[in-house]
């Protein structure tokens, strides 16, 4: 379900920390689980808290009520997320991304397609709470932009 929501709503796919077993609160998600990144992303977006504070129950069925709540919450989160594309800034990919206030804003880059000849990078700006944050990014090696989120 997590991977479906990420793809259907084009939500950001967070990269897990280098050693996710030390930071992942869901101990029943094995590090080789192919949907683990999707679950981690839903957790980062506050769309799921798991079945208990330490379990996600990846093999348990999802009820219609749970699915409806996840769909509605995903729709609401998607409406808050701003998506930037490097081609809008005359470039192919973002080369450096940072934010002045990570408590207020997450900046998540990801490739939609990642083949040798076709790379479609996007930058998701995910507001965490109200406040002002300035995002700095470079496109290619020559352009530096600032983007302020309130």
Please write the tens of the pLDDT for every residue from 62-118.
Answer: 899 999 999 999 999 999 888 888 888 777 777 778 877 777 778 887 776 544 455
Give φ, ψ of 12 to 5 degrees.
Answer: -65, 140
Domain borders along the chain are 2-80, 82-149
Global pTM? Answer: 0.74
Q: Could you give the count of Cα atoms lying within 13 Å of 43 in the half-sphere of its Cβ? A: 22
Sheet containing strand 119-127, strands side by side = 82-84, 119-127, 105-114
Please write the tens of the pLDDT for every residue from 5-28.
Answer: 988 998 998 877 656 555 667 778
Distance CA 110, CA 123 (A): 7
């Amino acid at each position: 379900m997590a991977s479906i929501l990420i793809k259907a709503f084009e939500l950001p796919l967070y990269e897990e920390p280098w050693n996710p077993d030390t930071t992942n609160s869901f101990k029943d998600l094995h590090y080789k689980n192919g949907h683990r990144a999707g679950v981690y992303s839903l957790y980062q977006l506050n769309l799921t808290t798991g079945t208990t504070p330490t379990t996600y129950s990846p093999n348990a069925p999802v009820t219609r009520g749970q699915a409806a709540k996840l769909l509605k919450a995903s729709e609401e989160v998607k409406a808050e997320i701003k998506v930037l594309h490097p081609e809008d800034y005359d470039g192919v990919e973002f080369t450096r991304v940072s934010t002045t206030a990570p408590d207020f804003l997450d900046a998540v880059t990801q490739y939609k397609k990642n083949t040798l000849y076709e790379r479609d990078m996007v930058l998701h700006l995910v507001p965490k709470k109200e406040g002002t944050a300035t995002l700095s990014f470079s496109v290619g090696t020559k352009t530096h932009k600032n983007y302020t989120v309130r």
